[in-house]
Amino acid sequence: MNSNFLQTPIEYLKGVGPNRASLLKTELGIHTFQDLIHLFPNRYIDRTQFYKIAQLKPTSADIQIIGKITHIKTVQQKRGKRLVATFRDETGSMELVWFRGHKWIKENLKINVPYVVFGKTNHFNHSYSMPHPEMELLTEYEKGLKATMQPVYPSTEKLANSNITNRVLLGLLATLFSEIKNNQKETLSKPLLSELKLLPKGESIINIHFPESQEKLARAQYRLKFEELFYIQLQLLFKNLIHKSKIKGYPFTEIGNYFNTFYNEQLPFELTDAQKRVVKEIRFDLGSNAQMNRLLQGDVGSGKTIVAFLSMLMALDNGFQACLMAPTEILSVQHYNGLLELCNDLNISISLLTGSSKTSERRIIHKSLENGELNILVGTHALLEDKVKFKNLGLAIIDEQHRFGVAQRSKLWHKNEYPPHILVMTATPIPRTLAMSVYGDLDISVIDELPPGRKDIKTVHRFDANRLKVFGFIRDEIALGRQVYIVYPLIQESEALDYKDLMDGYESISREFQQPKYQISIVHGQMKAVDKEFEMNRFIKGETQIMVATTVIEVGVNVPNASVMVIESAERFGLSQLHQLRGRVGRGAEQSYCILMTSHKLSEDAKTRIQTMTHTSDGFEIAEVDLKLRGPGDIMGTQQSGVLNLKIADIIKDTEILKIARSYAQKLLREDPNFVKQENEPIKDSYAQLMKYKNIWNYIS
Where are the extended beta strands (E) located within 528-650?
546-549, 562-567, 593-598
The SS3 assignment for 601 reads coil
Whether the pLDDT of residue 639 is over 50: the answer is no
Helices (H), 573-615: 575-582, 604-615
| CA triple 474-475-478, angle to 5 deg | 85
- Beta pairing class for 43-46 and 149-152: antiparallel
Lowest mean pLDDT among 417-426, 573-582, 687-696: 687-696
C-alpha–C-alpha distance, residues 700 and 32, integer Å = 13
Mean pLDDT (the chain, rounded)? 86
Pair 425, 296: CB distance under 8 Å: yes
pLDDT in tens, 498-527: 666 778 888 989 999 998 899 999 888 778
pLDDT in tens, 550-582: 876 655 567 889 999 999 999 988 888 898 889
Whether the pLDDT of residue 418 is over 80: the answer is no
- CA-nearest of 185, 222, 206, 8 to 685 is 185
Q: What is the pLDDT of residue 3?
A: 63
Residue 519 has a CB neighbour count (10 Å cut-off) of 14
Q: What is the pLDDT of residue 474?
A: 96
Pair 149, 47: CB distance under 8 Å: yes
C-alpha–C-alpha distance, residues 207 and 149, integer Å = 10
- CA-nearest of 192, 360, 313, 76 to 201 is 192
Q: What is the pLDDT of residue 654?
A: 84
C-alpha–C-alpha distance, residues 453 and 689, integer Å = 55
C-alpha–C-alpha distance, residues 608 and 605, integer Å = 5
Lowest mean pLDDT among 71-85, 431-445, 465-479: 431-445
Sign of CA dihedral 104, 108, 114, 115: negative
Listed in sequence order, the residues at least 6 apart from 280 whose beta carbon sits closer than 8 Å to its beta carbon are none
C-alpha–C-alpha distance, residues 91 and 381, integer Å = 78
Whether the pLDDT of residue 5 is over 50: the answer is yes
Bond prior to 133 in cis (omega within 30° of 0) = no
Higher pLDDT, 281 or 327: 281
Q: What is the pLDDT of residue 114?
A: 96
Partner residues linked to 119 by β-bridges? 63
pLDDT in tens, 49-103: 889 999 888 776 788 999 999 999 998 887 788 899 999 999 999 999 998 888 8
| CA triple 16-20-25, angle to 5 deg | 110
C-alpha–C-alpha distance, residues 412 and 393, integer Å = 9
- Give the mean model confidence (pLDDT) for residues 378-390: 89
% of the chain exceeding 90 in pLDDT = 46
Residue 128 — φ and ψ, nearest 5°? -110, 145
Q: What is the pLDDT of residue 637?
A: 46
Pair 570, 595: CB distance under 8 Å: no
- CA-nearest of 419, 2, 410 to 185 is 2
Element (H, E) at 226: helix 214-246
- CA-nearest of 57, 60, 47 to 117 is 47
Sign of CA dihedral 276, 281, 287, 293: negative
- Give the mean model confidence (pLDDT) for residues 125-150: 82
pTM strictly above 0.75: no
C-alpha–C-alpha distance, residues 34 and 17, integer Å = 17
C-alpha–C-alpha distance, residues 645 and 639, integer Å = 12
163 DSSP 8-state letter: T
Listed in sequence order, the residues at least 6 apart from 681 whose beta carbon sits closer than 8 Å to its beta carbon are 189, 675
- CA-nearest of 216, 178, 186, 172 to 16 is 172
CA 169 to the chain's CA centroid: 31
Partner residues linked to 607 by β-bridges? none
C-alpha–C-alpha distance, residues 204 and 200, integer Å = 6
Whether the pLDDT of residue 493 is over 70: the answer is no
Question: What are the angstrom distances between the C-alpha of 254 and each of 265, 284, 431?
Answer: 19, 12, 35
Question: What are the angstrom distances between the C-alpha of 319 and each of 240, 250, 540?
Answer: 27, 11, 36
The SS3 assignment for 596 reads strand
Question: What are the angstrom distances between the C-alpha of 71 and each of 94, 101, 262, 364, 437?
Answer: 11, 18, 94, 95, 59
- Give the mean model confidence (pLDDT) for residues 340-361: 91
Q: What is the pLDDT of residue 701?
A: 41
Residue ranges of domains in the chain, CATH in brackets: 48-146 (2.40.50.140), 201-246+657-699 (no CATH), 257-287+303-426 (3.40.50.300), 458-616 (3.40.50.300)
Where b means 16+ CB within 10 Å and e means fewer, 108-128 reads: ebeeeeebbbbbebeeeeeeb
Q: What is the pLDDT of residue 610?
A: 95
Cα-atom radius of gyration of the chain, to the nearest Å?
A: 32
Crossing angle, helix 529-540 and helix 329-344, to 10 degrees? 50
User: Identity (one letter) of the amino acid at 68?
Assistant: K
C-alpha–C-alpha distance, residues 321 and 626, integer Å = 39
Where b means 16+ CB within 10 Å and e means fewer, 136-159 reads: beeeebeeeeebbbbbebeeeeeb
Pair 155, 41: CB distance under 8 Å: no
Q: What is the pLDDT of residue 401?
A: 61
C-alpha–C-alpha distance, residues 187 and 699, integer Å = 10
